[in-house]
């Protein structure tokens, strides 16, 4: 194996370890609007790489996000994928807003308690 092919293989393996570069088959279905059959068909055709994983005894597939996005764009078009991604991002933003509001309420409660102890 020459050095260039070694580097290419190493870079490909690093992609599986990079944060956000992979997603589960369930997330791919939810985030990109794919069906399980479309995912399996793409795996059989060789257009999707996967790794099997298990959590609490339940099997699931790890997929590369860039390949899932390319599959969704080829199957459903750019507008559909963009809309699905925007919907998923909106859900993440709304979750974060709820979390921050909860944290703010907790901090205001602590501030009130400290203020009453200090006699303010």
Per-residue pLDDT of the chain (120 residues; tens, 9 = 90+): 677 777 667 677 788 888 888 999 999 998 898 999 999 999 999 999 999 988 899 999 999 999 999 999 999 999 999 998 899 899 999 999 999 999 999 999 999 999 999 986
The pLDDT, as a whole number, for residue 44 is: 95
The pLDDT, as a whole number, for residue 10 is: 67
* Nearest Cα residue to 47 out of 35, 63, 61, 60: 63
| Whole-number Å distance between alpha carbons of 76 and 60 | 24
| Whole-number Å distance between alpha carbons of 85 and 69 | 10
The pLDDT, as a whole number, for residue 120 is: 65
Q: How many CA atoms lie within 13 A of 12 on its CB side?
A: 9
In this prediction the pTM is 0.70
């Amino acid at each position: 194996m020459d050095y260039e092919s070694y580097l290419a293989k190493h870079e490909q393996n690093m992609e599986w370890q990079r944060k956000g570069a992979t997603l589960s088959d369930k997330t791919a279905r939810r985030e990109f609007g794919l069906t399980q059959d479309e995912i399996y068909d793409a795996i059989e055709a060789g257009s999707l790489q996967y790794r099997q994983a298990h959590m609490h005894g339940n099997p699931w597939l790890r997929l590369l996000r860039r390949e899932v996005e390319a599959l969704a764009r080829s199957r459903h078009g750019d507008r559909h994928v963009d809309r699905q991604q925007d919907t998923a991002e909106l859900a993440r933003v709304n979750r974060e807003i709820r979390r921050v509001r909860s944290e703010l309420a907790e901090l205001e409660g602590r501030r009130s308690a400290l203020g009453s102890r200090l006699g303010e």
